[in-house]
Structure 1
Amino acid sequence: MIYLLGILIGSRYYADIKILLRALFLSTPIAFFIINRFYNRRGIHTDILLPVMLGISLLLAGWLNVNTSGFLKMRSEHSKIAGIESLEANCKITGEIAEKKRSIQTEVTLIEYNEKMLLYIDKKIGLGSVRIGDTIKCRIMPKKISNQPGSSFDYARYMERKGIFCTSYVKSNDVTIKKLKKPTLRERIMLVREWYIKSLTKDNDSQESGILVSLTIGDKSHINSDTRDSFSKAGTMHLMAVSGLHVSFIYAFVSALFSFLGRGKKGRIMKLIVSSLFIWCYTALVGFSPSITRASVMATLYEISSITERDGSGLNSLSLSALIITLISPQSLFDLGFQLSFSAILSIIFVYPGLNNMMYSEKWPLKYIWNIITVH
């Protein structure tokens, strides 16, 4: 919690990296010295000084992490291309390729400027002519992303937090494509995702295939606005977002499939390896969204606790997953999916037991119905 507080402070106030490092290198050794010297002796050192020094170290670590991540520079005023009217650029496709009504939309990185932008390409170029990892040479006219008139959603800030400040449109005859030769690991994962989507939608233009894509990996770009409105009015739009429930299904399926391995230690280790492989491959496929990553970490920790024969603490697992996610990507703390996912699990840990005990019944139908009501 203190580490997350450090991220919150660092997201508002920039501090010199050298000062933060010096303070961290001072407070952390003091904390370890107290642990080593006074661990078995209760006193002012362990009761007051140790928690204070550990708290300061965690606060500084969070502050340092978010300051070095470049989060404070994720503002359109820091854009290198926003003030340029027109420029020739080599744009590497780094995001999903989505077909729109009159264009093809994708996220690209301008190699010369090391900056991301949202690029719309004339649909005449053909959806199959570009793939993730390809480099497009074209002339772009960057325009700052702005909010829709009358909309309460701050779309511009949402894109800023993804490091995208500008958008541009290019005609098909102004584009030169250089095909990808050696994809990176990230590009390979995204190409597998692209292949999966195409395998479902290639010979089927119906909305059923788009819904299936959305239900399995959370990509809603293949369903039209009418279908979205129907799900929204029915109150089932949340089904279109990937969540920890997807990981639970995969974990339950794999556990049942490999139950023949038995409850012995070797069998549990094998099940840990297999289930982790399936879970983390799926997590990579959906793009390591915070809710999925949180569930994957907790599922993995649960399997590890079963091998070590220790009772797993839901709160400890949740805290560790939050720490891992924010260590890698401190800006994830401000992601709505992160906040909703962790808030939901915290409410299950702290609120659900009290609500569940409000109406205790030995009759399984009533007990089952009440459990469903309290969880939701």
Structure 2
Amino acid sequence: MTVTLSWGALFLYCCVVLSVSGSKILFVSFTPSPSHQKPFQEIWRTLTAKGHEMHVITPNPLVNHTYANLIQYDISDVYAWAAKMNQLKKKDIKYSLQKPNFLHTFLKEFAVNRGWHAVHEYTFQLPEVKRLLDTQSSFDAVIVEWLYPTAAALAGYYRAPLIGICSLGAPTNGLDEIGNILNPVVTPDQNVPIGRSDFSFRDRLLSALYSVFIRLYYHWRIVPTEDRTVRKYLGDDIPYLGDITRNISLLLLNRNQISHRLMSVVPGIVEFGGLKYDKIVQELEPGLKHFLDNSKNGVVYFSMGAAIKQLAFLSPQQIDVFRTVLGELPYNVVWKWDNETMDEKPDNVFISSWINQTAVLGKKPLSVKFRAQL
């Protein structure tokens, strides 16, 4: 009897194991920003390593990889296009970066929306996206960046379950789609320029008005416009974009309740803040290594990211404020700057146009007192 049960269990085990196969997943992110792409890259790299067949539209493809089940659609051309557009749309970018006030909170959304629309319109025209569409593939799931609705149309195009993902928290409309309605008095949208707690009456009023405004603007302007956009490239045989986004199955957020505003979440939201990246030995540039080795009190790391060109978008007065404040700190400062020179650079500041952030933050022994990054 025991032998019979053992052979029966082995037979069932083999049937289950042999019938299991990886899923075929499309991962889509158009945002031309390395800091946004880093957590995404780790997610789809891990899914690939787990045996899933990954098709990835990304401006930051893996190089020199050995995965046979990874098909990448390289849209890195969007970086050069974005740099050119940053010069043409300098007024919009400067406006979105200026010190916020009550009215600016609403008006900047028009500038931000123009930018997102332009990125998606351009990317859908790229040869690599057309190459994907020409393959007539089918997918078990489509994972898209959940900051703007346009790319979600691909889930409707392929008739596949939709999964959203954010490299930070999700905006109000993105949370609405999965049924996670925010109370604006308790949990303001992440784009509302107020603190994390102890909200004043003005703060609560601003948050409440913004929550009404952004929902009206999203449903009456953004979604209809983007629906017309995707139909130019995907055809009319897809559901309305607003219906596609409301059919989201899962939302993944790179946030952690400990370091973000308090927010209740529905079961369809999974927060993965604190993601562990693949540990690769990172080498420091000799000059930077010497600077860090001599930072006995620790360092402050200051960066505005890859997208913001400080000399182009900051006034001389604003740059002087940063330079003065950082120069007065009792710590050494690593400042990601636009080039290798700076007038009147403080002695405690190290500048470079490219800094290996992972290597700096991971250097031992070293105390990073503060990290400021846009």
Shared topology, TM-score over 0.5? no
Which structure exhibits the higher relative contact order, with contacts defined as CA atoms closer than 8 Å and separated by 6 or more residues?
2
TM-score by length of 1: 0.22
Larger Rg: 1
- Greater helix proportion: 1
